Structure 1
């Protein structure tokens, strides 16, 4: 396989943010770009989503609220969905 250099211009912050994500995924920039190019060829278009499973701010807040509630012995507890629904309708 003969290789060649590919020079691209991008915003410095974009590059840094992408490198952080690639590092978390165990990739470097060259590997990530080559994955993108090869898959683009195979799929004949923009091929995939490769992202970390990061919850939205709303979801993260709900998870944290649930954790706090589990630590609070005075928080209500329900043994079934029917009990929960009844409490919500009251």
Structure 2
């Protein structure tokens, strides 16, 4: 059997040990569980992420909408369609849509 030695902050060890004790585990068992789960899943057994973004997705979308407003197009109105698509050439599709 191998031995693994890890250096951690005293406060971190104390806090983690308390949690593991409350769960009925000791530090060695908790670390062994971490390693077993890592091998089983071939990954870290938890999500690794950066800090949460300063704003939510909804706030971000609202900000984008304010900077670049969406244009609603009435596709039954030829003027709206022309303004939306501008000078794009869709002549190759005329047969498909003009049946």
TM-score, normalised with respect to structure 2: 0.45
The structure with more radius of gyration: 2
Relative contact order (alpha carbons < 8 A, sep ≥ 6): 1 or 2 greater?
Answer: 1
